[in-house]
Amino acid sequence: MSEVSVIRAGIVGATGYTGVELLRLLLGHPRVRPAVVTSRGQAGTPLSALFPNLRGQGDLRFQAPDAGALGECDVVFFATPHGVAHTLAGDLLQRGTRVIDLSADFRLRDPQLWSQWYGQPHGAPELLEEAVYGLPELNRARIPAARLIAVPGCYPTAVTLGLLPLLEAGVVDPAQLVADAKSGVSGSGRKAQVGSLFCEAAENFRAYALGGHRHLPEILQTLGEVSGVQPQLTFVPHLVPMVRGILATLYTRLLQPQTDLQALFERRYAHEPCVDVLPAGELPETRSVRGTNLCRLAVQRPQEGETAVVVSAIDNLVKGASGQAVQNMNLMFGLPETQGLEGIAILP
Amino acid sequence: MSEVSVIRAGIVGATGYTGVELLRLLLGHPRVRPAVVTSRGQAGTPLSALFPNLRGQGDLRFQAPDAGALGECDVVFFATPHGVAHTLAGDLLQRGTRVIDLSADFRLRDPQLWSQWYGQPHGAPELLEEAVYGLPELNRARIPAARLIAVPGCYPTAVTLGLLPLLEAGVVDPAQLVADAKSGVSGSGRKAQVGSLFCEAAENFRAYALGGHRHLPEILQTLGEVSGVQPQLTFVPHLVPMVRGILATLYTRLLQPQTDLQALFERRYAHEPCVDVLPAGELPETRSVRGTNLCRLAVQRPQEGETAVVVSAIDNLVKGASGQAVQNMNLMFGLPETQGLEGIAILP
Amino acid sequence: MSEVSVIRAGIVGATGYTGVELLRLLLGHPRVRPAVVTSRGQAGTPLSALFPNLRGQGDLRFQAPDAGALGECDVVFFATPHGVAHTLAGDLLQRGTRVIDLSADFRLRDPQLWSQWYGQPHGAPELLEEAVYGLPELNRARIPAARLIAVPGCYPTAVTLGLLPLLEAGVVDPAQLVADAKSGVSGSGRKAQVGSLFCEAAENFRAYALGGHRHLPEILQTLGEVSGVQPQLTFVPHLVPMVRGILATLYTRLLQPQTDLQALFERRYAHEPCVDVLPAGELPETRSVRGTNLCRLAVQRPQEGETAVVVSAIDNLVKGASGQAVQNMNLMFGLPETQGLEGIAILP
Amino acid sequence: MSEVSVIRAGIVGATGYTGVELLRLLLGHPRVRPAVVTSRGQAGTPLSALFPNLRGQGDLRFQAPDAGALGECDVVFFATPHGVAHTLAGDLLQRGTRVIDLSADFRLRDPQLWSQWYGQPHGAPELLEEAVYGLPELNRARIPAARLIAVPGCYPTAVTLGLLPLLEAGVVDPAQLVADAKSGVSGSGRKAQVGSLFCEAAENFRAYALGGHRHLPEILQTLGEVSGVQPQLTFVPHLVPMVRGILATLYTRLLQPQTDLQALFERRYAHEPCVDVLPAGELPETRSVRGTNLCRLAVQRPQEGETAVVVSAIDNLVKGASGQAVQNMNLMFGLPETQGLEGIAILP
């Protein structure tokens, strides 16, 4: 790609919250032009009819998904429910279009495990070999040449970045991991469902999916690769009455309690532009990363005990989805890794 | 007490959120009359000037604290910052008035431990001997005759009720306890401070006090008595952008994974009017207990692993403070245990 | 009805927010027993499965609507979308069951006007003659003998109670009325729709239905009767990011600026148990009426000008719906008007 | 100023919400460098200690206010309580530094009127002559040469932009204006006060300051200039349980009901980069302008009556304060008017 060229981007299924967030980021990106935005149900509708924040940002309209139009893009993002990317990704790759999938379709390497958790056969097992799990902090080397990126889920991003330094260094027991994760309601998407209504979610707090959340096998896959053994993780997600943000509180048993955890974290992420290890004693809050592609981390060892606690905060729609997708795109196209992702969080 | 008599109640320091909640409950209690309500700073002010919900509920006014007036009450509640009950409780007991303290003053049995966590000398160590920790589910037998009740803290109530069945039965390791607790903002009280402002707390989620929260020694004291050993607990409180409610998610290592945890919990709380063990598979949410004196509990063992997860929900201002105080009062005065506490949670 | 008898109540369509609020109030009413609760879609489901606050409040289950079972009730409430009461009310009245309709079906006296605003023919015009508009502050005399009550809408209750004293006294121009009304999201019901999602309604404020809201003709009908002329009202509803509450700010042009408005309001509502005129200078807030059947009112004349401003606050689900329905029921069955409605608002 | 030079900016009193928002905008502005940020109470503290969103955005620290350091800036912004700019602005102007005051100090041209509303003598009446009221849509021609800008208040911006087209065109009666305005809680600033606590403001809605809000004389001053007569305005502000945003609903009596209001508004604001007139029939919502410098407007004439309703939405901290300050700065320094203000609103 020449220095001055512009990347033509397509978005499939841009009517949800990751879709509008991706549009916000791409419209503000100096080297990208959103060229094709598809929605089967909203063909012909201007983007601003669904998303009033996009009024005045050009006259793009949703169009019906069409492999031909999408195939003329340099890159196509999928912001769709699971299963959709399975049906279109192969065709696009053949046309020379690179694919960044924000859905779960290519995150698990084992198609049978995928099938078990998603309740349907895997629709494109032949592409799994080349799919790269797009967590730059783990797989940066493989991303530039990748044709197909599986953007990590929101919970997996927060949990994995928080546990990586400990597991890589072998200082905690991988068989005793706890991830108590809390997410804003936008994690449930824009689908009209009773549980996501204002009057159900406001002034309320609850845990859910103790029996098993679909992000669990994804987290286990990565942690297993990193630690070299099959980890045991108790993962409990909770719903917070706020729009954006994930905060994961991670509990681990220290094998070597004397490790300087602060130094370990600072060293591990010293050159990561999207991970911020807070000074010792400080704790992250979700508003400090709202709208940004940052993961802010803290690690502590309460009461000098055997348990290390990590607190990890991201914006579920940015580092947990659309921002991470753009970070991958930047790496794939040789752009500065954080281009288009430099906005400061709005506070308050 | 004769069947028809009315209990004269005093409240010291009723300008905060536990104060107004106590007033709401006592004003609706058929056998109690709030007779003296004190506030040094608001003497002469009608209650409704501070609490518009109390308009039309009689013409009580705040008055300056006065041992004489308070000493004519049958019972005096302290809804004050720590240290205040130390200075007044002894005098009231001598006058024959029973004391129910919602503050931390008499919760820890060791005055030096108290002094260490609260940063000042204990002001009434001579009363600790007779003070009863007012968790009816643990100490019901001792409450009717008590003259001085220390009402448990909000986090301790939620955490302790969730762990009691497991520790009493000896089925989990007391050296590996994790309590990830989340509280609404009313837990911070009505004091004007930046951290409790709407614009700081709304659309935000954060952990705090990892280094050590004042409720930690209180929880450890009770759990230690129950389990017979010194437990190890990692306790991390979080702030939720909602007004009321605590949800504690508790992680324990099972010593006997085959235990029927559901049956254990149902049996333990079978006759407890203020604890509700949910059916297997269901999870509590804070709105289901809002305004009520209930603790709703669920226990699960995710992925059939070695970790048992308990979810415990209370209203921090009711079962976590003022409602529990009334429950104690009912027991002390021979009234039905839940009298005045039967209101159904408002939903939505 | 004998002094000790219990009123058997039926509720049709109790799966929404007015339904659960009605259940909360009736379950706490000392003289009523909810006997039949219907829902076509949820037949067989326990109430608590939809409404976790009702867990432990008996073992009622939803059943399919059945005129026979409902006809054995003393009174049947309709908490249904418009059109449903049309089809069932006549049958129930013939069986001797009295009907309290919380929907819009019998609010407008002119069936053609109804048809025009609701987009379908009126289904029971023959019942309009005897239907009583259940605003006790206006029609108390007619309610005890009524067989069929049309409970006023939420906005109409707040707006009408605020304007009544001014129009009855003839001190403002009925041709220049403005009602700027703000409602919590529960006014939109429990239907799964994108506009009511947490992520659409939180941290947002908007006006809607400027072109004409269905509550407009209802308000105009009442105000016209009171003032004796056809009033002109500009009515703009707004959506507030909160669950419960309506605050209506009413702007009127004074014909007689020297009128003592405070005295006028206090006189008008002196004997009304559910209307609270605040002292001069104070303003109501929605939280002060949350969960209660009160309408709190203030009237002021800013800058001693020609405009009188009334501020009117209610809980849209109580005085704006289910509480007002119970108030009507109490009057119909000779009970104390506020029985079962005495609960104090929870604050905070 | 040369094309490549950078504007050195100072901010006095940057510890509040307009301060941090100004920092966010200036840190993202390609032609500005925040050089001096003062706070008497926080001298020495890094910005990120107060504002976690600014972590990683350089190592600026608060310093004590010092005319010397501020006088080396090209421009100094005051984000202070009223009265502070009075004491410093004259000195800075003499040193050749231009001043943009976000406080109320120079908004009212009549120092006695100012004194009356702010309860203290005007501290710099000699500067009033040259102060320019920084509403670019009204005073753009005078801003480039101005040395001292009074940035309009938040309510005045929303109300004035909504009424300007109608009053300029003379199509409504200036003696019968109503502004029903609703603001998020950030309008109350970051001061620790009970009324701004989460537990006081959440799940609540209320009107305030009916007797007279300080923004009233400011609005009247502008509207009077525009309409050529002394207008009569009933202005009622309300507090919305959200962080950011103002929505003003404006009611006016049409003198010429047949006017094409939509065309009037579109024509008036055709070339305004920060005002967006929505298509006929659409209504603005505050989230569509969150974090942006836009005012979105709609005008309607409900029921073809004599009342025109305008709905005006801004972000109170951006177009209502810090963004408008930057817009003025851009005009003063010959930069593109919206430079640094192009960010798209985050949604959801």
Domain match, C233 and C198 both: yes
**Residue C340 lies inside a defined structural domain of this protein:** no
Q: Given pLDDT bands bounded at 50, 70 and 90, which one contains residue B1?
A: very low
The whole-angstrom distance between A206's CA and the closest CA on chain B is 5
Answer whether residue A4 shows pLDDT above 60: no
Q: Given pLDDT bands bounded at 50, 70 and 90, which one contains residue A240?
A: very high
Other CB atoms within 10 Å distance of the CB of residue D319: 27
* Total number of domains constituting chain D: 2
Q: Do D198 and B201 touch (CB under 8 A)?
A: yes
The whole-angstrom distance between B136's CA and the closest CA on chain D is 29
Helix-helix angle B323-332:B17-27, to 10 degrees: 50
**Residue D104 lies inside a defined structural domain of this protein:** yes
Q: Please state the rounded mean pLDDT for residues B160-166.
A: 98
Answer whether residue B84 shows pLDDT above 80: yes
In chain C, the residue whose alpha carbon lies closest to the alpha carbon of B288 is: C53
Model pLDDT, residue B324? 98
Looking at B97, B130, B163, the residue that finishes a domain is B130
A188 touches chain D (CB under 8 A): no
The β-bridge relationship of strands D7-12 and D32-38 is: parallel
Q: Please state the rounded mean pLDDT for residues A304-309.
A: 96
Model pLDDT, residue C161? 98
D307 touches chain C (CB under 8 A): yes
Answer whether residue A141 shows pLDDT above 80: yes
Mean pLDDT, chain A, integer: 97
Q: Please state the rounded mean pLDDT for residues D279-285.
A: 97
Model pLDDT, residue D2? 47
pLDDT tens for B313-333 read 999 999 999 999 999 999 999
Q: Do C344 and B24 touch (CB under 8 A)?
A: yes
Answer whether residue A54 shows pLDDT above 70: yes
C291 touches chain B (CB under 8 A): yes
ipTM value greater than 0.85: yes
Model pLDDT, residue C1? 45
Per the structure, the complete domain to which residue A252 belongs is given by: 155-315
CATH code, domain with A34: 3.40.50.720
Q: Do C283 and D205 touch (CB under 8 A)?
A: no
The DSSP letter of residue A300 is E
D73 included as an active-site residue: no
Q: Which residues of D touch B203 (CB under 8 A)?
A: 243
Q: Do B234 and A210 touch (CB under 8 A)?
A: no
Contacts of B90 (CB under 8 A, 6+ apart): B124, B126, B127
**Residue B186 lies inside a defined structural domain of this protein:** yes
Answer whether residue A138 shows pLDDT above 90: yes
Model pLDDT, residue B2? 47
Q: Given pLDDT bands bounded at 50, 70 and 90, which one contains residue B279?
A: very high
Answer whether residue B170 shows pLDDT above 60: yes
Nearest to D148 by CA among D160, D125, D130: D130
Give the containing element (helix H, strand E) for D17. helix D17-27
Q: Do A348 and D276 touch (CB under 8 A)?
A: no
SS3 C36: strand
**Residue D202 lies inside a defined structural domain of this protein:** yes
B276 touches chain C (CB under 8 A): yes
Model pLDDT, residue D1? 45
pLDDT tens for B179-206 read 999 999 999 999 999 999 999 999 999 9
pLDDT tens for B118-144 read 999 999 999 999 999 999 999 999 999
Q: Which residues of C touch B244 (CB under 8 A)?
A: 346, 348
User: What percent of the residues of chain C are helix, what percent strand, and what percent coil, each to the nearest 5?
Assistant: 35, 20, 45
Domain match, D303 and D167 both: yes
Q: Given pLDDT bands bounded at 50, 70 and 90, which one contains residue B4?
A: low
Q: Please state the rounded mean pLDDT for residues D325-329.
A: 98
Domain match, B185 and B293 both: yes
Answer whether residue B282 shows pLDDT above 60: yes
Q: Which residues of D touch C162 (CB under 8 A)?
A: none
Nearest to C259 by CA among C165, C158, C138: C165
Domain match, C61 and C16 both: yes
Distance CA C241, CA C200 (A): 9
A197 touches chain C (CB under 8 A): yes
Domain match, C194 and C302 both: yes
Ranges of residues in chain C with a pLDDT under 70 are 1-4
**Residue D340 lies inside a defined structural domain of this protein:** no
Domain match, D122 and D212 both: no
In chain B, the residue whose alpha carbon lies closest to the alpha carbon of A240 is: B240
Nearest-by-Cβ selection for D192 from B185, B186, B192:
B192
C203 touches chain D (CB under 8 A): yes
Model pLDDT, residue C296? 98
Domain match, C175 and C310 both: yes
Nearest-by-Cβ selection for D276 from A55, A202, A347:
A55
Domain match, B57 and B163 both: no
Distance CA B123, CA B119 (A): 12
Q: Which residues of B touch D17 (CB under 8 A)?
A: 199
In chain C, the residue whose alpha carbon lies closest to the alpha carbon of A198 is: C198
Domain match, B305 and B192 both: yes
**Residue A136 lies inside a defined structural domain of this protein:** no
**Residue B76 lies inside a defined structural domain of this protein:** yes
Answer whether residue D192 shows pLDDT above 80: yes
Nearest-by-Cβ selection for A348 from D17, D56, D347:
D17
The whole-angstrom distance between A201's CA and the closest CA on chain C is 7
Domain match, A298 and A200 both: yes
Answer whether residue A327 shows pLDDT above 60: yes
Report percent pLDDT > 70 for chain D.
Answer: 99
Tell me the three-class secondary structure of B63-99, residue by residue.
ECCCHHHHHCCCEEEECCCCCHHHHHHHHHHHCCCEE
Nearest-by-Cβ selection for B287 from A184, A203, A240:
A203
Nearest-by-Cβ selection for C302 from D176, D234, D253:
D234
Distance CA D199, CA D169 (A): 45
CATH code, domain with D190: 3.30.360.10
**Residue C243 lies inside a defined structural domain of this protein:** yes
DSSP string, D160-175: HHHHHHHHHHT-B-TT
Domain match, B126 and B161 both: no
Domain match, C271 and C304 both: yes
